[in-house]
């Protein structure tokens, strides 16, 4: 390392926003995976407590929040973390959901954990295929290519009717809670627990990747590909890895959705889902994993509130069907008008203001 | 004329680059000896940046060979050059705007970490120690470039001169054997250029330096060897004294045999003190 005196002619630089931390501070902390697993365990305890005091209906809704959170966290790493805009995330959820349903239908003896691992493997393969094909595409071109995926994939379910059940999709019976928990937890509560356990494991991994060297490499590529390459970062490979991680998260989320709902249809993985996911992520805050949590609540609860509202107001079925989209759009516009960095951005600004005062 | 020797770090031979019908570089050769400072000069559009992109692996030449430490370099990607020990800066700095100053330099150090794919994907294995070492290394680099106190700020919040130091820290943090500097003096004031000259001298104790520069005063002061490009061809090479006396160089710069290349660069920067003749 060379020493220099190159800064003497520079102007004074004003106030330093954060004092530099002593270099050893992070070194004494727990390793990243351990910290994230602890946080996931704490979150699981919180969710379990919440599930114990709520009814079946809320349990199902919380389960939906759980798998949507996982799917959105994967999308956040891809779009916010590596700068690759994907409009086809719903397609990966569809791949996971159909894999799950097909496994339960054709190999009913496999335990759930094995099914979930196979679902991840299938999604990884799909992610490699799509990621490798699109690694050289940027911005709108990549968005367009993934859009084609979201538009085209549901068509395959229609085309191969015998295997995928056409527009009626596949219906499967999922195993409920293990017998020794009979009378303690209901099926819905058990399913929500399984979803959150799996999702939080996945999220711990995503958070580790995001905060670690790989996440920093992705952010460097997002900010400046040429400079990242000249720093020795394999740009193409890293982008494919980001794509694969995102598709694995999306596929696993889809598998969990199939597990909870017991039914998969092509119409639930339409283009609207993919676009809703990316819009929700912008609403929640695309800069970090926390934004994905608020986004997941928005995706699940805005739709519920909209249909409840339509029912109370006794609106016609045409209005009722479209009200969720309208409500979502209005909320998105309002949030971005007042909090351009999404809900999480607003919370961070608030926290900074509280800390300063 | 060029100091070709078996011990050269980088040898570029007959490098030709064509973009469609345009020949940007025509059979250009360049040799860089270890710990030497080579200047690459020439009027705008002479092909300096193209040659720079070839040397740093961003651009593959249409024809010609590159030899790194005696071994021919096959068709490759930019990150391979970085891993082999070549660093570069950019004319536009190209700092990562949304990463802190510290993270910018940590990315520059990334290639020195030991952990492989497993540690990257899981955060296990070498990851924890790698992160600590990368951080320490980056902080040490920031310290030696005088920007340690700004470690947690975003690059855009720093004045330009300090941003340049961050870019240099990012390029040097991995201890490269060859440092490519793209117009390091542009936008600097007179005494900042003096400081830069000192810095380049210091670099050349540990690594070879190639610089593209319009600031003739700086080039004449720091370079051991100068290569002059014009319209994609090498029109002169030699020591600063030889270049200064070369009529072909004078013609290329001014189109006027009476002129002196050191008095007026074609891209003269008003506040860079370009007029000084050493």
- The model carries a pTM of 0.86
Cα–Cα dist A158/A165, whole Å: 7
Contact at 8 Å (CB) between A216 and A242?
no
CA distance B141 to chain A (A): 7
Residue B255's pLDDT is 64
Residue A241: predicted pLDDT: 96
- CA distance between the termini of chain B: 24
The per-residue DSSP string of B226-242 comes to: EEEEETTEEEEEE-HHH
Query: DSSP string covering A73-86, please?
Result: HHHHIIIIIH----
Q: Contact A126/A247 with Cβ under 8 angstroms?
A: yes
Predicted confidence at residue B20, as pLDDT, reads: 87
Q: What is the DSSP letter of A181?
A: G
Chain A contact for B78, CB < 8 A?
yes
Predicted confidence at residue B278, as pLDDT, reads 36
d(CA B275, CA B278): 9
Place of tokens 């691992």: A117
CA–CA gap between residue A26 and residue B74 (Å, rounded): 41
Q: How far apart are CA A345 and CA A342, in angstroms?
A: 5
**Domain boundaries defined on chain A:** 31-171+185-268
> Residue B120 is nearest to which of A26, A213, A229, comparing CB atoms?
A213
Question: Are A229 and B192 an interchain contact pair (Cβ–Cβ within 8 Å)?
Answer: no
User: Between the CA of residue B91 and those of B95, B166, B181, B212, B234, what are the distances in Å?
Assistant: 11, 13, 8, 9, 22
pLDDT for residue B260: 47
Question: CB of A128 within 8 A of CB of A239?
Answer: no
Identify the pLDDT of residue B75: 64
Residues B132, B126: Cα–Cα separation, whole Å: 10
Tokens 């971005």 -> residue = A336
Distance CA A57, CA A103 (A): 27
Is some CB atom of chain A closer than 8 A to the CB atom of B159? yes
**Quick one: tokens of A9?**
């002619």
**Distance (Å, whole) CA A246 – CA A194:** 21
pLDDT of residue A103: 95
Quote the ipTM score.
0.86
Determine the distance from the C-alpha atom of residue A237 to the mean position of all C-alpha atoms in its chain, rounded to a whole number: 21
Residue A28's pLDDT is 56
Q: How far apart are CA B226 and CA B238, in angstroms?
A: 5
CB contact under 8 A, A13 and B150: yes
Burial class (CB in 10 A: 0-12, 13-18, 19+), B164: buried
Residue A357 confidence (pLDDT): 79
Q: CB under 8 Å to B201, separation ≥6 — which residues?
A: B222
Closest-approach residue (CA) in chain A for B204:
A2
Distance (Å) of CA B116 to CA A59, A213, A261, B113, B135? 41, 11, 39, 8, 18
Give chain B as a DSSP string. Answer: -----TT-SEEEEEEEEEETTEEEEEEEEEEE-TT-EEEEE-STTSSHHHHHHHHTTSS--SEEEEEETTEE--S--HHHHHHHTEEE--TT----TTS-HHHHHHHHHGGG----HHHHHHS-TTHHHHHHHHHHHHHHHHHHTT-GGGTTS-GGGS-HHHHHHHHHHHHHTT--SEEEEESTTTT--HHHHHHHHHHHHHHHHHSEEEEE-S-HHHHHHH-SEEEEEETTEEEEEE-HHHHHH-HHHHHHHHS-TT--TTT--TT--TTTTTT---
User: Is the per-residue pLDDT at B271 higher than 50?
Assistant: no
The B63-68 sheet, strands edge to edge: B22-32, B10-19, B63-68, B71-72
Residue A27 with chain B: CB contacts under 8 Å: 132
Q: Which domains does chain B have, with CATH numbers?
A: 1-85+176-278 (3.40.50.300)
- Which bin fits B93, alpha (ψ -120 to 50), beta or left (φ > 0)? left
Confidence of residue B6 (pLDDT cuts 50, 70, 90): low
Task: Give pLDDT, residue A91.
Answer: 95
Residue A55 or residue B143, greater confidence: B143
Least confident of A33-47, A204-218, B12-26, B254-268: B254-268
d(CA B62, CA A214): 34
Residue B272: predicted pLDDT: 41
What mean pLDDT value characterizes chain B? 86
**What is the mean pLDDT for each group of 10 consecutive residues in chain A (357 residues)?**
38 39 54 92 95 90 96 96 93 96 93 95 96 86 91 90 89 82 85 96 96 96 94 93 96 97 93 92 92 95 88 82 85 90 91 88
Question: What is the percentage of chain A residues whose pLDDT exceeds 70?
Answer: 92
- Name the residue facing B132 among A11, A27, A208 (closest C-beta): A27
Q: Do B95 and A224 touch (CB under 8 A)?
A: yes
Are A26 and B135 an interchain contact pair (Cβ–Cβ within 8 Å)? yes
Chain B: nearest CA to A23, how far in angstroms?
Answer: 6
Residue B47's nearest CA partner among B21, B76, B74, B16 is B16
Q: What integer is the mean pLDDT of B109-133?
A: 91
């Amino acid at each position: 390392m060379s020493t220099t005196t190159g800064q003497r002619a520079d102007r004074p630089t004003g106030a330093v926003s954060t004092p530099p931390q002593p270099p050893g501070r992070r070194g004494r902390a727990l390793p990243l995976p351990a910290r994230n697993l602890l946080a996931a365990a704490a979150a699981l305890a919180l969710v379990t407590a919440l599930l114990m005091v709520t009814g079946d209906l809320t349990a199902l809704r919380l389960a939906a929040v759980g798998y949507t959170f996982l799917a959105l966290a994967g999308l956040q790493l891809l779009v916010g973390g590596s700068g690759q805009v994907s409009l086809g995330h719903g397609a990966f959820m569809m791949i996971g959901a159909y894999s799950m349903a097909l496994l339960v239908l054709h190999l009913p003896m496999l335990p759930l954990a094995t099914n979930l691992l196979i679902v991840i493997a299938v999604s990884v393969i799909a992610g490699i295929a799509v990621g490798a094909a699109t690694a050289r595409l940027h911005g709108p071109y990549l968005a367009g290519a993934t859009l084609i995926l979201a538009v085209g994939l549901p068509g395959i379910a229609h085309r191969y009717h015998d295997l995928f059940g056409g527009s009626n999709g596949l219906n499967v019976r999922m195993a409920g809670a293990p017998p020794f928990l009979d009378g303690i937890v209901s099926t819905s509560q058990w399913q929500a627990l399984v979803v959150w356990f799996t999702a939080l494991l996945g999220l711990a991994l995503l958070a580790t990747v995001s905060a670690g060297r790989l996440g920093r490499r992705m952010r460097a590529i997002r900010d400046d590909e040429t400079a990242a390459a000249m720093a020795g970062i394999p740009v193409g490979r890293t982008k494919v890895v980001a794509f694969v991680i995102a598709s694995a998260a999306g596929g696993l989320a889809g598998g969990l959705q199939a597990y909870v709902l017991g039914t998969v249809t092509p119409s639930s993985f339409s283009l609207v889902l993919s676009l809703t996911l990316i819009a929700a992520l912008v609403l929640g805050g695309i800069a970090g994993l926390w934004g994905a949590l608020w986004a997941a609540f928005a995706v699940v609860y805005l739709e519920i509130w909209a249909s409840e509202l339509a029912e109370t107001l006794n609106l016609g079925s045409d209005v009722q069907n479209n009200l969720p989209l309208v409500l979502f759009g209005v909320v998105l516009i309002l949030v971005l008008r007042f909090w351009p960095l999404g809900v999480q951005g607003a919370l961070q600004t608030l926290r900074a203001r509280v800390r300063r005062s | 004329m060029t100091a070709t020797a078996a011990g050269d770090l980088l040898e570029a031979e007959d490098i030709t680059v064509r973009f469609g019908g345009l020949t940007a570089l025509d059979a250009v050769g360049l040799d860089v000896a270890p710990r030497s400072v080579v200047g690459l000069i020439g009027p705008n559009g002479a092909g300096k940046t193209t040659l720079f992109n070839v040397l740093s692996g961003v651009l593959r030449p249409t024809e010609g060979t590159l030899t790194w430490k005696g071994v021919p370099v096959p068709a490759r990607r930019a990150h391979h050059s970085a891993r082999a020990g070549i660093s570069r800066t950019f004319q536009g700095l190209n700092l990562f705007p949304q990463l802190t100053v510290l993270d910018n330099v940590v990315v520059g150090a990334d290639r020195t970490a030991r952990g492989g794919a497993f540690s990257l994907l899981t955060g296990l294995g070498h990851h924890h120690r790698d992160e600590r070492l990368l951080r320490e290394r980056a902080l040490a680099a920031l310290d030696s470039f005088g920007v340690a106190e700004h470690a947690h700020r975003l690059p855009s919040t720093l004045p330009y001169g300090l941003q340049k130091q961050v870019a240099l820290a990012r390029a040097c943090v991995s201890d490269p054997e060859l440092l490519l500097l793209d117009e390091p003096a542009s936008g600097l004031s007179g005494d900042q250029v003096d400081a830069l000259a000192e810095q380049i001298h210091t670099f050349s104790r540990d690594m070879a330096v190639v610089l593209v520069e319009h600031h003739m005063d700086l080039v004449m002061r720091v370079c051991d060897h100068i290569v002059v490009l014009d319209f994609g061809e090498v029109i002169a090479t030699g020591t600063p004294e030889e270049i200064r006396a070369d009529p072909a160089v004078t013609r290329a710069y001014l189109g006027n045999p009476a002129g002196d290349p050191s008095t007026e660069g074609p891209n003269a920067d008003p506040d860079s003190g370009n007029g000084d003749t050493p």
